[in-house]
C-alpha cells in the first residue's frame, strides 16, 4: 500500500519506523510546523520530521489542514491509507476522505477510555493499573472511530509519562503493522465504541502542574509521575518555584498542615498532604538543574516546619 504518515512527537517515531521496515511504501510524511523552543526560542523540528529527513522522505508541514495547497500536495501523493500517530491536529473531512482505505490512528489508550490529546499522562495521574494501544478507523470525532485492534499493558508503579510513553510507542508500531496486515487480508472487523464508557484526556497546560497540597499523598505521587517530563509538578517556597520530579507516598499520617516539610533526611524531604506524607527524593529549584534531594541539601539548608505553598504568596 501507498501510505501517508502523520505524526509529530517521539511517540510517533516507532510507528513510522515500523512502516518503513514493512512491505508497504511510505510516500510522504505530514508533521507540525517547526516551533520555537527553550529560552532562546530556537526554531526546532519535530522528532518525526528529524527522522523523516534522515530517511529522505518527502515532508509537508501545513499551518492549516484545509489549506488548498496542502490538500493538493496530499492528493498528489495518491495514498491508499493515511496512518496517524499523535499528530496533534483534528483531520477535516477533506483529508479523511482522500485515502482509498481511510485513515488509521494509533492511540495511546484502551478506547473509549481516555479520548484526547494526553491519554498516557491522565491514565497515570488517575492511578490506573493498566492502559494500552488502540488502532482505529478515524472519523470526524475526537478518537471516536471504530476500533480495529487493542493491546493491554500494565502501568508500573514507578512509570512516568515519559517512560510509559516510550514502551507504548514500541507496542504501537508493532500493533500498527499487524492492523494493516489484517486490513489487507480482510480479517479484522471494525467495532463501534461504546460511547457510554468514554472518558476524556484533555491536553495538558502548564497550570496543571500546580500542586494542591490538600490532595492525598498517593494522588500527588501519581500526578508527579503523570506530569513528568512535561509540564512538571511544581510548588513554591518563599516565592521560588520548586519542580518535584520523584516522590513516594508514605502510609504514616501527617501531623502538620498540608504543604509543611515535616522531616529533612539526607536523601529526602517528607511533606504533609491532605492525607499522608509525601517523600520527595528528586527536585529542581528555581533556575537550577534537576537533582536528587541529597545533592540539593548538600548546598542548601532546609528546615522542618517550612511550608510549601500553591499558589505562591502575592
- Is the overall model pTM greater than 0.85, yes or no? yes
User: Of 197, 219, 250, which one is at a domain's C-terminal end?
Assistant: 197
Please check whether residues 136 and 263 belong to one and the same domain: no
Residue 21's Cα: distance from chain center in Å? 25
Contact 231, 244 (CB under 8 A): no
Closest C-alpha to 291, from 310, 268, 311, 273? 268
Average pLDDT, the chain: 96
The CATH number for 278's domain is 3.10.25.10
Please check whether residues 139 and 265 belong to one and the same domain: no
Please check whether residues 97 and 70 belong to one and the same domain: yes
pLDDT mean over 230-236: 96
The pLDDT assigned to 312 comes to: 58
Residue 309 within a domain: no
Please check whether residues 132 and 252 belong to one and the same domain: no
The CATH number for 177's domain is 3.40.50.170
pLDDT mean over 272-287: 96
Number of H helices, E strands in the chain: 8, 15
Burial (Cβ within 10 Å: 0-12, 13-18, ≥19) of residue 237: middle
Residue 121 within a domain: yes
Residue 203 within a domain: no
Q: How far apart (Å, rounded) are the C-alpha atoms in residues 234 and 223?
A: 11
pLDDT mean over 109-135: 98
Please check whether residues 62 and 175 belong to one and the same domain: yes
Looking at the DSSP bridge assignments, the partners of residue 149 are 135
How do residues 75-119 score in pLDDT, each as one tens digit?
999 999 999 999 999 999 999 999 999 999 999 999 999 999 999
Q: How far apart (Å, rounded) are the C-alpha atoms in residues 209 and 226?
A: 10
Q: E strand or H helix at 263, and its extent?
A: strand 261-264
Number of structural domains, the chain?
2
Contact 48, 9 (CB under 8 A): yes
Residue 310 within a domain: no
Q: How far apart (Å, rounded) are the C-alpha atoms in residues 221 and 250?
A: 10
Backbone angles phi, psi at 191, to 5 degrees: -125, 140
Please check whether residues 79 and 178 belong to one and the same domain: yes
pLDDT mean over 245-268: 96
Q: How far apart (Å, rounded) are the C-alpha atoms in residues 269 and 261?
A: 7
What is the C-alpha R_g of the chain?
Answer: 22
Please check whether residues 41 and 137 belong to one and the same domain: yes
The pLDDT of residue 313 is above 60: no
Please check whether residues 134 and 80 belong to one and the same domain: yes
> Domain limits at 178?
2-197
The pLDDT assigned to 37 comes to: 84
Please check whether residues 141 and 234 belong to one and the same domain: no
Amino acid at each position: 500500500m501507498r501510505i501517508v504518515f502523520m505524526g509529530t512527537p517521539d511517540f510517533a517515531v516507532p510507528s513510522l519506523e515500523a512502516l518503513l521496515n514493512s512491505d508497504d511504501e511510505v510516500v510522504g510524511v505530514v508533521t507540525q510546523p517547526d516551533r520555537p523552543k527553550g529560552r532562546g526560542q530556537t526554531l526546532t523540528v519535530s522528532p518525526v520530521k528529524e527522522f523523516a529527513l534522515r530517511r529522505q522522505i518527502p515532508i509537508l508541514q501545513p499551518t492549516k489542514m484545509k489549506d488548498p495547497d496542502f490538500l493538493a500536495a496530499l492528493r498528489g501523493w495518491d495514498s491508499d491509507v493515511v496512518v496517524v500517530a499523535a499528530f496533534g491536529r483534528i483531520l477535516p473531512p477533506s483529508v479523511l476522505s482522500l485515502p482509498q482505505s481511510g485513515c488509521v490512528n494509533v492511540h495511546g489508550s484502551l478506547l473509549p477510555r481516555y479520548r484526547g490529546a494526553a491519554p498516557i499522562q491522565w491514565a497515570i495521574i488517575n492511578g490506573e493499573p493498566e492502559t494500552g494501544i488502540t488502532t482505529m478507523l478515524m472519523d470526524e470525532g475526537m478518537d471516536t472511530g471504530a476500533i480495529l485492534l487493542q493491546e493491554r499493558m500494565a502501568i508500573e508503579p514507578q512509570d512516568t509519562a515519559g517512560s510509559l510513553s516510550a514502551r507504548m510507542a514500541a507496542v504501537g508500531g508493532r500493533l500498527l503493522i499487524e492492523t494493516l496486515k489484517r486490513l489487507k487480508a480482510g480479517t479484522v472487523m471494525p467495532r463501534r465504541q461504546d460511547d457510554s464508557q468514554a472518558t476524556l484526556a484533555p491536553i495538558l497546560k502548564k497550570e496543571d502542574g500546580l500542586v494542591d497540597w490538600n490532595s492525598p499523598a498517593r494522588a500527588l505521587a501519581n500526578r508527579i509521575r503523570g506530569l513528568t517530563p512535561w509540564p512538571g509538578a511544581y510548588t513554591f517556597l518563599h516565592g521560588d518555584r520548586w519542580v518535584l520530579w520523584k516522590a513516594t507516598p508514605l502510609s504514616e499520617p501527617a501531623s502538620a498542615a498540608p504543604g509543611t516539610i515535616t522531616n529533612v533526611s539526607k536523601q529526602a524531604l517528607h511533606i504533609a498532604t491532605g492525607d499522608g506524607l509525601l517523600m520527595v527524593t528528586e527536585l529542581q529549584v528555581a533556575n537550577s538543574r534537576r537533582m536528587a534531594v541529597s545533592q540539593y541539601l548538600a548546598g542548601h539548608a532546609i528546615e522542618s516546619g517550612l511550608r510549601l505553598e500553591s499558589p505562591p504568596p502575592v
